[in-house]
Structure 1
Amino acid sequence: MLATSTPRTAIVTGAARGIGAATAKRLAADGHRVAVLDLDAASCAETVAAITDAGGQAIGVGVDVADADQVAAAVAQVAEALGGPTILVNNAGITRDNLIFKMTEQDWDSVIGVHLRGSFLMSRAVQAYMTQEKFGRIVNLSSTSAQGNRGQVNYSAAKAGLQGFTKTLAIELGKFGVTANAVAPGFIQTDMTRATAERLGVSFEDFIAFSAKEIPVQRVGQPEDIAATISFLTSDEAGFISGQVIYVAGGPMD
Protein backbone atom coordinates (compact mmCIF):
# COMPACT_ATOMS: atom_id res chain seq x y z
CA MET A 1 0.00 0.00 0.00
CA LEU A 2 1.42 3.38 -0.99
CA ALA A 3 1.80 6.08 1.62
CA THR A 4 -0.87 8.78 1.59
CA SER A 5 0.42 12.00 0.07
CA THR A 6 -0.90 15.15 -1.50
CA PRO A 7 0.71 15.44 -4.96
CA ARG A 8 3.78 17.65 -4.67
CA THR A 9 7.04 18.42 -6.45
CA ALA A 10 9.93 16.24 -5.33
CA ILE A 11 13.63 16.50 -6.06
CA VAL A 12 15.85 13.42 -5.83
CA THR A 13 19.58 13.91 -6.29
CA GLY A 14 21.81 11.17 -7.62
CA ALA A 15 18.71 9.69 -9.24
CA ALA A 16 20.16 8.29 -12.46
CA ARG A 17 20.66 4.85 -10.91
CA GLY A 18 20.56 2.77 -7.76
CA ILE A 19 18.78 4.04 -4.67
CA GLY A 20 18.11 7.42 -6.24
CA ALA A 21 16.42 5.96 -9.30
CA ALA A 22 14.30 3.61 -7.20
CA THR A 23 13.29 6.52 -4.96
CA ALA A 24 12.37 8.76 -7.88
CA LYS A 25 10.19 6.03 -9.35
CA ARG A 26 8.53 5.34 -6.00
CA LEU A 27 7.75 9.00 -5.35
CA ALA A 28 6.27 9.25 -8.83
CA ALA A 29 4.12 6.20 -8.04
CA ASP A 30 3.01 8.06 -4.91
CA GLY A 31 1.65 10.74 -7.23
CA HIS A 32 4.41 13.34 -7.02
CA ARG A 33 5.99 15.29 -9.85
CA VAL A 34 9.64 14.28 -9.75
CA ALA A 35 12.82 16.09 -10.72
CA VAL A 36 15.54 13.54 -11.42
CA LEU A 37 18.89 15.21 -10.70
CA ASP A 38 22.33 13.83 -11.46
CA LEU A 39 25.72 15.09 -12.56
CA ASP A 40 24.90 14.52 -16.23
CA ALA A 41 21.41 15.32 -17.51
CA ALA A 42 21.66 12.61 -20.19
CA SER A 43 22.17 9.94 -17.52
CA CYS A 44 18.77 10.85 -16.04
CA ALA A 45 16.91 9.86 -19.21
CA GLU A 46 16.32 6.22 -18.24
CA THR A 47 14.79 7.10 -14.87
CA VAL A 48 12.67 9.86 -16.41
CA ALA A 49 11.45 7.51 -19.13
CA ALA A 50 10.50 4.84 -16.60
CA ILE A 51 8.40 7.40 -14.73
CA THR A 52 6.71 8.93 -17.76
CA ASP A 53 6.06 5.52 -19.36
CA ALA A 54 4.19 4.59 -16.17
CA GLY A 55 2.04 7.73 -16.46
CA GLY A 56 4.02 9.96 -14.10
CA GLN A 57 5.53 13.39 -14.60
CA ALA A 58 9.28 13.88 -14.41
CA ILE A 59 12.16 15.93 -15.78
CA GLY A 60 15.90 15.30 -15.76
CA VAL A 61 18.33 18.01 -14.67
CA GLY A 62 22.10 17.93 -14.72
CA VAL A 63 23.78 19.48 -11.68
CA ASP A 64 26.92 19.29 -9.62
CA VAL A 65 25.38 19.49 -6.16
CA ALA A 66 28.65 20.81 -4.73
CA ASP A 67 28.44 23.92 -6.96
CA ALA A 68 26.26 26.65 -5.48
CA ASP A 69 25.48 28.37 -8.78
CA GLN A 70 24.50 25.09 -10.45
CA VAL A 71 22.28 24.18 -7.50
CA ALA A 72 20.49 27.53 -7.61
CA ALA A 73 19.92 27.18 -11.35
CA ALA A 74 18.73 23.59 -11.08
CA VAL A 75 16.21 24.32 -8.31
CA ALA A 76 14.89 27.32 -10.23
CA GLN A 77 14.49 25.13 -13.33
CA VAL A 78 12.56 22.53 -11.33
CA ALA A 79 10.28 25.16 -9.80
CA GLU A 80 9.49 26.61 -13.22
CA ALA A 81 8.83 23.24 -14.84
CA LEU A 82 7.07 21.33 -12.06
CA GLY A 83 6.20 23.84 -9.34
CA GLY A 84 7.97 24.77 -6.12
CA PRO A 85 9.70 21.72 -4.63
CA THR A 86 8.56 20.72 -1.15
CA ILE A 87 10.14 17.25 -1.05
CA LEU A 88 13.92 16.84 -1.19
CA VAL A 89 15.88 13.60 -1.08
CA ASN A 90 19.61 14.25 -0.77
CA ASN A 91 20.91 10.99 -2.20
CA ALA A 92 23.83 12.09 -4.40
CA GLY A 93 27.04 10.47 -3.28
CA ILE A 94 30.40 9.15 -4.35
CA THR A 95 33.08 6.96 -2.82
CA ARG A 96 36.84 7.38 -2.93
CA ASP A 97 37.79 4.49 -0.65
CA ASN A 98 41.27 4.01 0.74
CA LEU A 99 43.08 3.51 4.02
CA ILE A 100 43.94 6.82 5.60
CA PHE A 101 47.67 6.62 4.90
CA LYS A 102 46.88 6.23 1.20
CA MET A 103 44.00 8.71 1.04
CA THR A 104 44.67 11.95 -0.80
CA GLU A 105 43.29 15.35 0.08
CA GLN A 106 41.30 15.22 -3.16
CA ASP A 107 39.76 11.90 -2.08
CA TRP A 108 38.67 13.56 1.16
CA ASP A 109 37.45 16.82 -0.35
CA SER A 110 35.50 15.15 -3.16
CA VAL A 111 33.50 12.90 -0.85
CA ILE A 112 32.84 15.58 1.75
CA GLY A 113 31.92 18.01 -1.03
CA VAL A 114 29.26 15.86 -2.66
CA HIS A 115 27.70 14.44 0.50
CA LEU A 116 27.86 17.30 2.98
CA ARG A 117 28.29 20.46 0.92
CA GLY A 118 25.86 19.11 -1.67
CA SER A 119 23.18 18.33 0.90
CA PHE A 120 23.68 21.76 2.48
CA LEU A 121 23.39 23.62 -0.81
CA MET A 122 20.35 21.67 -1.97
CA SER A 123 18.58 22.03 1.38
CA ARG A 124 19.32 25.74 1.58
CA ALA A 125 17.92 26.28 -1.91
CA VAL A 126 14.78 24.21 -1.44
CA GLN A 127 13.84 25.27 2.09
CA ALA A 128 12.69 28.63 0.75
CA TYR A 129 9.85 26.90 -1.11
CA MET A 130 9.06 24.67 1.87
CA THR A 131 8.85 27.45 4.44
CA GLN A 132 6.65 29.49 2.11
CA GLU A 133 4.27 26.56 1.70
CA LYS A 134 4.43 25.68 5.39
CA PHE A 135 5.15 22.10 4.34
CA GLY A 136 8.36 20.26 3.59
CA ARG A 137 10.02 16.88 3.73
CA ILE A 138 13.81 16.51 3.63
CA VAL A 139 15.38 13.06 3.66
CA ASN A 140 19.16 12.73 3.75
CA LEU A 141 20.91 9.48 2.89
CA SER A 142 23.30 8.47 5.64
CA SER A 143 24.74 4.96 5.96
CA THR A 144 25.70 2.28 8.45
CA SER A 145 29.24 3.39 7.55
CA ALA A 146 28.56 6.42 9.77
CA GLN A 147 29.51 4.10 12.63
CA GLY A 148 32.90 3.47 11.06
CA ASN A 149 34.08 1.32 8.17
CA ARG A 150 37.62 0.35 7.25
CA GLY A 151 38.88 2.17 4.18
CA GLN A 152 36.14 4.79 4.28
CA VAL A 153 37.27 7.49 6.68
CA ASN A 154 36.00 10.17 4.27
CA TYR A 155 32.68 8.47 3.50
CA SER A 156 32.09 7.55 7.15
CA ALA A 157 32.76 11.12 8.27
CA ALA A 158 30.40 12.48 5.62
CA LYS A 159 27.61 10.07 6.52
CA ALA A 160 28.01 10.76 10.24
CA GLY A 161 27.99 14.47 9.50
CA LEU A 162 24.71 14.13 7.64
CA GLN A 163 23.10 12.80 10.81
CA GLY A 164 23.99 15.96 12.74
CA PHE A 165 22.97 18.06 9.75
CA THR A 166 19.59 16.32 9.69
CA LYS A 167 18.90 16.83 13.37
CA THR A 168 19.73 20.53 13.15
CA LEU A 169 17.52 21.00 10.09
CA ALA A 170 14.69 19.42 12.07
CA ILE A 171 15.19 21.91 14.89
CA GLU A 172 15.45 24.97 12.66
CA LEU A 173 12.69 24.17 10.16
CA GLY A 174 10.13 22.38 12.29
CA LYS A 175 8.07 25.50 13.04
CA PHE A 176 7.51 25.90 9.30
CA GLY A 177 5.95 22.45 8.92
CA VAL A 178 9.17 20.98 7.55
CA THR A 179 10.50 17.64 8.74
CA ALA A 180 14.03 16.35 8.22
CA ASN A 181 15.08 12.75 8.65
CA ALA A 182 17.97 10.54 7.63
CA VAL A 183 17.83 7.04 6.23
CA ALA A 184 20.94 4.96 6.86
CA PRO A 185 21.07 1.94 4.53
CA GLY A 186 23.07 -1.15 5.27
CA PHE A 187 24.32 -3.35 2.43
CA ILE A 188 22.29 -2.45 -0.65
CA GLN A 189 22.89 -4.17 -3.98
CA THR A 190 23.98 -1.26 -6.20
CA ASP A 191 26.81 -0.19 -8.48
CA MET A 192 28.44 1.41 -5.44
CA THR A 193 28.63 -1.85 -3.49
CA ARG A 194 29.81 -3.58 -6.66
CA ALA A 195 32.70 -1.10 -6.72
CA THR A 196 33.46 -1.97 -3.09
CA ALA A 197 33.69 -5.65 -4.02
CA GLU A 198 36.11 -4.78 -6.79
CA ARG A 199 38.22 -2.76 -4.35
CA LEU A 200 38.36 -5.77 -2.03
CA GLY A 201 39.26 -8.07 -4.91
CA VAL A 202 36.26 -10.40 -4.60
CA SER A 203 33.42 -11.22 -6.99
CA PHE A 204 30.20 -9.30 -6.44
CA GLU A 205 28.26 -12.56 -6.13
CA ASP A 206 30.57 -13.81 -3.36
CA PHE A 207 30.44 -10.39 -1.68
CA ILE A 208 26.64 -10.51 -1.65
CA ALA A 209 26.54 -14.09 -0.36
CA PHE A 210 29.02 -13.37 2.44
CA SER A 211 27.26 -10.15 3.44
CA ALA A 212 23.83 -11.81 3.49
CA LYS A 213 25.05 -14.35 6.04
CA GLU A 214 26.00 -11.51 8.39
CA ILE A 215 22.57 -9.83 8.18
CA PRO A 216 19.81 -11.07 10.52
CA VAL A 217 17.18 -11.24 7.73
CA GLN A 218 19.68 -13.27 5.69
CA ARG A 219 19.60 -11.15 2.54
CA VAL A 220 21.13 -7.96 1.26
CA GLY A 221 18.97 -4.93 0.66
CA GLN A 222 17.58 -3.69 -2.63
CA PRO A 223 17.18 -0.04 -3.68
CA GLU A 224 13.40 -0.50 -3.39
CA ASP A 225 13.79 -1.23 0.33
CA ILE A 226 15.21 2.25 0.84
CA ALA A 227 12.71 3.86 -1.53
CA ALA A 228 9.82 2.43 0.49
CA THR A 229 11.15 3.98 3.69
CA ILE A 230 11.66 7.34 2.00
CA SER A 231 8.14 7.12 0.57
CA PHE A 232 6.73 6.99 4.09
CA LEU A 233 8.99 9.71 5.49
CA THR A 234 7.95 12.09 2.70
CA SER A 235 4.24 11.34 3.09
CA ASP A 236 1.61 13.48 4.77
CA GLU A 237 1.33 10.80 7.45
CA ALA A 238 4.93 11.26 8.64
CA GLY A 239 4.50 14.81 9.89
CA PHE A 240 5.33 13.96 13.52
CA ILE A 241 8.59 12.18 12.66
CA SER A 242 11.56 14.53 12.46
CA GLY A 243 15.24 14.57 13.33
CA GLN A 244 15.44 10.78 13.24
CA VAL A 245 18.05 8.43 11.79
CA ILE A 246 16.40 5.26 10.54
CA TYR A 247 18.70 2.35 9.87
CA VAL A 248 17.40 0.17 7.05
CA ALA A 249 19.90 -2.63 7.34
CA GLY A 250 18.08 -5.91 7.89
CA GLY A 251 18.75 -5.94 11.61
CA PRO A 252 19.49 -3.76 14.64
CA MET A 253 22.33 -1.26 14.62
CA ASP A 254 24.01 0.06 17.76
Structure 2
Amino acid sequence: MDLKLAGKVAVVSGASRGLGYAIAHALGREGARVVISSRDPVQLASAVDKLEADGVEARGVAGDMSVDADVQTFVQAARDTYGPVDIAVSNVLPPHKVGFDACSNEDFVAAHQTMMMSVIYLARAVIPAMKERGWGRLININSHCSREPHLDPSLPLSNVTRTSVASLIKTISYELAPFGITANSLAVGAFSTERSKWFLAEMGITDEAEFATTTKRIAVQRFGRPEELGALAAFLASEWSDFITGESIRIDGGMSHALF
Protein backbone atom coordinates (compact mmCIF):
# COMPACT_ATOMS: atom_id res chain seq x y z
CA MET A 1 0.00 0.00 0.00
CA ASP A 2 1.31 3.43 -0.97
CA LEU A 3 0.84 5.64 2.09
CA LYS A 4 1.30 8.72 -0.10
CA LEU A 5 3.76 10.33 2.30
CA ALA A 6 6.37 11.24 -0.31
CA GLY A 7 7.24 14.91 0.06
CA LYS A 8 5.29 15.39 3.28
CA VAL A 9 7.06 17.26 6.08
CA ALA A 10 7.03 15.59 9.49
CA VAL A 11 8.30 16.68 12.88
CA VAL A 12 8.81 14.05 15.57
CA SER A 13 9.80 14.93 19.12
CA GLY A 14 11.71 12.60 21.42
CA ALA A 15 13.05 10.84 18.35
CA SER A 16 16.74 10.29 19.03
CA ARG A 17 16.04 6.72 20.14
CA GLY A 18 13.31 4.24 21.02
CA LEU A 19 9.75 4.71 19.85
CA GLY A 20 10.23 8.24 18.53
CA TYR A 21 13.14 7.13 16.37
CA ALA A 22 11.13 4.18 15.04
CA ILE A 23 8.32 6.53 14.02
CA ALA A 24 10.69 8.97 12.33
CA HIS A 25 12.29 6.07 10.48
CA ALA A 26 8.93 4.69 9.33
CA LEU A 27 7.77 8.09 8.08
CA GLY A 28 11.08 8.71 6.35
CA ARG A 29 11.14 5.34 4.63
CA GLU A 30 7.70 6.19 3.22
CA GLY A 31 9.17 9.31 1.67
CA ALA A 32 8.43 11.97 4.26
CA ARG A 33 11.10 14.56 5.05
CA VAL A 34 11.68 14.32 8.76
CA VAL A 35 12.88 16.77 11.42
CA ILE A 36 13.50 15.17 14.80
CA SER A 37 14.09 16.62 18.24
CA SER A 38 15.79 15.52 21.45
CA ARG A 39 17.30 17.19 24.50
CA ASP A 40 20.56 15.27 23.91
CA PRO A 41 22.41 16.83 20.94
CA VAL A 42 24.96 14.01 20.75
CA GLN A 43 22.33 11.27 20.63
CA LEU A 44 20.31 13.41 18.22
CA ALA A 45 23.21 13.73 15.78
CA SER A 46 23.75 9.97 15.91
CA ALA A 47 20.06 9.38 15.15
CA VAL A 48 20.15 11.72 12.15
CA ASP A 49 23.23 9.93 10.82
CA LYS A 50 21.45 6.57 11.11
CA LEU A 51 18.34 7.87 9.38
CA GLU A 52 20.33 9.34 6.52
CA ALA A 53 22.34 6.15 6.17
CA ASP A 54 19.04 4.35 5.66
CA GLY A 55 17.92 6.71 2.94
CA VAL A 56 15.80 9.06 5.04
CA GLU A 57 15.94 12.80 4.43
CA ALA A 58 16.33 14.09 7.98
CA ARG A 59 17.48 16.92 10.17
CA GLY A 60 17.85 17.22 13.95
CA VAL A 61 17.05 20.18 16.20
CA ALA A 62 18.00 19.90 19.87
CA GLY A 63 15.50 21.25 22.35
CA ASP A 64 13.14 20.70 25.26
CA MET A 65 9.53 20.28 24.14
CA SER A 66 8.24 21.57 27.48
CA VAL A 67 9.72 24.97 26.59
CA ASP A 68 7.60 26.93 24.12
CA ALA A 69 10.57 28.78 22.61
CA ASP A 70 12.31 25.46 21.87
CA VAL A 71 9.18 24.11 20.18
CA GLN A 72 8.92 27.24 18.04
CA THR A 73 12.57 26.86 17.02
CA PHE A 74 11.96 23.19 16.18
CA VAL A 75 8.97 23.88 13.94
CA GLN A 76 10.56 26.93 12.32
CA ALA A 77 13.62 24.85 11.42
CA ALA A 78 11.35 22.37 9.67
CA ARG A 79 9.65 25.19 7.75
CA ASP A 80 12.95 26.76 6.77
CA THR A 81 14.43 23.45 5.63
CA TYR A 82 11.51 21.63 4.00
CA GLY A 83 8.38 23.80 4.18
CA PRO A 84 5.19 23.85 6.28
CA VAL A 85 4.66 20.90 8.61
CA ASP A 86 2.14 18.27 7.47
CA ILE A 87 2.62 15.72 10.26
CA ALA A 88 3.41 16.49 13.90
CA VAL A 89 4.20 13.66 16.31
CA SER A 90 4.39 14.55 20.01
CA ASN A 91 6.39 12.07 22.03
CA VAL A 92 7.73 12.83 25.51
CA LEU A 93 8.27 10.80 28.67
CA PRO A 94 6.84 11.63 32.11
CA PRO A 95 9.10 11.88 35.17
CA HIS A 96 9.98 8.49 36.64
CA LYS A 97 8.39 8.39 40.10
CA VAL A 98 6.67 5.44 41.79
CA GLY A 99 3.91 5.99 44.35
CA PHE A 100 1.94 9.08 45.37
CA ASP A 101 4.08 9.75 48.44
CA ALA A 102 7.19 9.95 46.26
CA CYS A 103 5.62 12.64 44.07
CA SER A 104 5.81 16.18 45.40
CA ASN A 105 3.41 18.96 44.46
CA GLU A 106 6.20 20.35 42.30
CA ASP A 107 6.49 16.99 40.54
CA PHE A 108 2.85 17.15 39.50
CA VAL A 109 3.28 20.68 38.18
CA ALA A 110 6.43 19.67 36.29
CA ALA A 111 4.70 16.58 34.87
CA HIS A 112 1.86 18.76 33.56
CA GLN A 113 4.37 21.07 31.92
CA THR A 114 6.27 18.19 30.36
CA MET A 115 3.36 16.06 29.22
CA MET A 116 0.49 18.45 28.53
CA MET A 117 2.10 21.75 27.61
CA SER A 118 4.56 20.11 25.21
CA VAL A 119 1.58 18.81 23.21
CA ILE A 120 -0.16 22.17 23.33
CA TYR A 121 2.95 24.07 22.25
CA LEU A 122 3.51 21.78 19.27
CA ALA A 123 -0.14 21.84 18.22
CA ARG A 124 -0.28 25.64 18.31
CA ALA A 125 2.92 25.85 16.27
CA VAL A 126 1.71 23.67 13.40
CA ILE A 127 -2.08 24.03 13.24
CA PRO A 128 -2.31 27.46 11.52
CA ALA A 129 -0.38 26.31 8.43
CA MET A 130 -2.31 23.02 8.37
CA LYS A 131 -5.58 24.96 8.35
CA GLU A 132 -4.36 27.10 5.46
CA ARG A 133 -3.59 24.00 3.38
CA GLY A 134 -6.68 22.05 4.50
CA TRP A 135 -4.76 18.98 5.63
CA GLY A 136 -2.68 17.81 8.56
CA ARG A 137 -1.96 15.10 11.08
CA LEU A 138 -1.44 15.38 14.83
CA ILE A 139 -0.30 12.14 16.46
CA ASN A 140 0.37 11.85 20.18
CA ILE A 141 2.36 8.93 21.54
CA ASN A 142 0.49 8.20 24.73
CA SER A 143 0.28 5.16 27.00
CA HIS A 144 -2.24 2.43 27.61
CA CYS A 145 -2.42 3.85 31.15
CA SER A 146 -4.57 6.62 29.66
CA ARG A 147 -7.23 3.91 29.37
CA GLU A 148 -6.29 1.70 32.33
CA PRO A 149 -4.00 3.31 34.97
CA HIS A 150 -0.66 1.83 36.01
CA LEU A 151 -1.37 0.53 39.51
CA ASP A 152 1.34 -2.10 39.98
CA PRO A 153 3.63 -0.26 40.26
CA SER A 154 1.66 2.92 40.89
CA LEU A 155 2.71 5.71 38.51
CA PRO A 156 0.60 8.75 39.49
CA LEU A 157 2.40 11.30 37.31
CA SER A 158 1.99 9.21 34.20
CA ASN A 159 -1.58 8.12 34.95
CA VAL A 160 -2.84 11.65 35.51
CA THR A 161 -1.08 13.43 32.67
CA ARG A 162 -1.57 10.71 30.06
CA THR A 163 -5.33 10.77 30.63
CA SER A 164 -5.40 14.56 30.37
CA VAL A 165 -3.51 14.51 27.08
CA ALA A 166 -5.89 11.93 25.61
CA SER A 167 -8.77 14.24 26.53
CA LEU A 168 -7.01 17.18 24.88
CA ILE A 169 -6.47 15.23 21.65
CA LYS A 170 -10.13 14.19 21.58
CA THR A 171 -11.23 17.78 22.15
CA ILE A 172 -9.12 19.40 19.45
CA SER A 173 -9.89 16.61 16.97
CA TYR A 174 -13.50 17.81 16.89
CA GLU A 175 -12.46 21.41 16.28
CA LEU A 176 -9.91 20.53 13.60
CA ALA A 177 -11.91 18.00 11.57
CA PRO A 178 -13.60 20.61 9.32
CA PHE A 179 -10.13 21.73 8.21
CA GLY A 180 -9.03 18.27 7.06
CA ILE A 181 -6.81 17.79 10.12
CA THR A 182 -6.97 14.63 12.20
CA ALA A 183 -5.73 14.20 15.77
CA ASN A 184 -5.20 10.81 17.38
CA SER A 185 -3.39 9.20 20.30
CA LEU A 186 -1.58 5.89 20.35
CA ALA A 187 -2.07 4.13 23.69
CA VAL A 188 1.24 2.31 23.82
CA GLY A 189 1.91 -0.76 25.95
CA ALA A 190 5.19 -2.51 26.76
CA PHE A 191 7.83 -2.11 24.05
CA SER A 192 11.51 -3.02 24.07
CA THR A 193 13.01 0.37 24.95
CA GLU A 194 15.16 1.94 27.67
CA ARG A 195 11.96 3.12 29.38
CA SER A 196 10.78 -0.48 29.65
CA LYS A 197 14.00 -1.51 31.36
CA TRP A 198 13.35 1.12 34.04
CA PHE A 199 9.76 -0.05 34.45
CA LEU A 200 10.83 -3.67 34.87
CA ALA A 201 13.54 -2.73 37.35
CA GLU A 202 10.93 -0.98 39.52
CA MET A 203 9.08 -4.29 39.65
CA GLY A 204 12.20 -6.28 40.44
CA ILE A 205 12.13 -7.99 37.04
CA THR A 206 15.05 -8.01 34.61
CA ASP A 207 13.66 -10.14 31.80
CA GLU A 208 11.02 -8.99 29.32
CA ALA A 209 9.80 -12.51 28.67
CA GLU A 210 9.30 -13.10 32.40
CA PHE A 211 7.09 -10.04 32.66
CA ALA A 212 5.18 -10.76 29.46
CA THR A 213 4.26 -14.32 30.36
CA THR A 214 3.65 -13.93 34.12
CA THR A 215 -0.10 -14.41 34.59
CA LYS A 216 -0.32 -13.53 30.88
CA ARG A 217 0.32 -9.85 31.52
CA ILE A 218 0.63 -9.45 27.74
CA ALA A 219 -1.73 -11.61 25.68
CA VAL A 220 0.76 -12.11 22.84
CA GLN A 221 3.42 -12.97 25.48
CA ARG A 222 6.14 -10.64 24.23
CA PHE A 223 7.07 -6.98 24.23
CA GLY A 224 6.30 -4.86 21.22
CA ARG A 225 8.91 -4.02 18.62
CA PRO A 226 9.39 -0.28 18.00
CA GLU A 227 8.98 -0.74 14.25
CA GLU A 228 5.46 -2.07 14.87
CA LEU A 229 4.52 1.25 16.43
CA GLY A 230 6.27 3.06 13.60
CA ALA A 231 4.12 1.26 11.04
CA LEU A 232 0.89 2.22 12.82
CA ALA A 233 1.98 5.85 13.17
CA ALA A 234 2.86 5.97 9.47
CA PHE A 235 -0.60 4.72 8.56
CA LEU A 236 -2.25 7.34 10.79
CA ALA A 237 -0.10 9.96 9.07
CA SER A 238 -1.29 8.86 5.65
CA GLU A 239 -4.25 9.92 3.51
CA TRP A 240 -5.78 6.49 4.08
CA SER A 241 -6.58 7.49 7.67
CA ASP A 242 -8.76 10.48 6.76
CA PHE A 243 -11.78 8.89 8.49
CA ILE A 244 -9.95 8.22 11.77
CA THR A 245 -9.80 11.08 14.26
CA GLY A 246 -10.25 11.68 17.97
CA GLU A 247 -9.23 8.11 18.74
CA SER A 248 -7.02 6.61 21.41
CA ILE A 249 -5.77 3.48 19.67
CA ARG A 250 -4.30 0.79 21.88
CA ILE A 251 -1.18 -0.99 20.66
CA ASP A 252 -0.22 -3.12 23.64
CA GLY A 253 -0.36 -6.76 22.59
CA GLY A 254 -3.53 -7.26 24.63
CA MET A 255 -1.96 -6.03 27.86
CA SER A 256 -4.94 -3.86 28.79
CA HIS A 257 -7.99 -5.71 30.05
CA ALA A 258 -10.35 -2.76 29.53
CA LEU A 259 -13.16 -3.31 27.02
CA PHE A 260 -13.15 0.28 25.76
2:126 corresponding residue in structure 1: 126
Within 5 Å, which residues of 2 pair with 1:40-79? 40-79=40-79
1:188 corresponding residue in structure 2: 191
C-alpha distance after superposition, 1:127-184 (max 9, x if no partner): 1221121110001112111221122111011111111111111111111110001100
Q: 1:162 aligns with which of 158, 165, 180?
A: 165
Distance 1:253 1:225, change over 3 A: farther
1:29 corresponding residue in structure 2: 29
C-alpha distance after superposition, 1:185-211 (max 9, x if no partner): 111111011111222232144654446
After TM superposition, the score normalised by the length of structure 2 is 0.91
C-alpha deviation, 1:36, in angstroms: 0.8
Distance in 1, matches of 2:252 and 2:135, equals 29
Secondary structure of 2:95's counterpart equals coil
C-alpha deviation, 1:64, in angstroms: 0.9
Contact 1:137 1:178 in 2 (8 A): yes
Contact 2:213 2:221 in 1 (8 A): no
1:19 corresponding residue in structure 2: 19
C-alpha distance after superposition, 1:193-236 (max 9, x if no partner): 11112222321446544469322222211111111110100001
Unaligned segments of structure 1, at least 5 residues: none
Distance in 2, matches of 1:166 and 1:129, equals 18
Letter in 2 for 1:192: R
Secondary structure of 1:142's counterpart equals strand
Could you list the structure 1 runs, at least 4 aligned residues long, displaced by more than 3 angstroms after superposition.
204-213
Within 5 Å, which residues of 2 pair with 1:205-216? 205=208, 207-210=210-213, 213-216=216-219
Unaligned segments of structure 2, at least 5 residues: none
Alignment partner of 1:239 is 2:242? yes
Contact 1:13 1:91 in 2 (8 A): yes
Aligned length: 254
Q: 1:197 aligns with which of 191, 200, 213?
A: 200
Distance in 1, matches of 2:140 and 2:185, equals 5
Cα RMSD (Å) = 1.8
Alignment partner of 1:222 is 2:231? no
C-alpha distance after superposition, 1:67-113 (max 9, x if no partner): 11121122111110121111011112233222101212333233222
Distance in 2, matches of 1:184 and 1:154, equals 16
2:149 corresponding residue in structure 1: 148
- The share of aligned pairs that are identical, in percent, is 28
Distance 1:179 1:204, change over 3 A: same
Distance in 2, matches of 1:212 and 1:94, equals 27
2:113 corresponding residue in structure 1: 113
Distance in 2, matches of 1:42 and 1:193, equals 22
Distance in 1, matches of 2:110 and 2:230, equals 25
After TM superposition, the score normalised by the length of structure 1 is 0.93
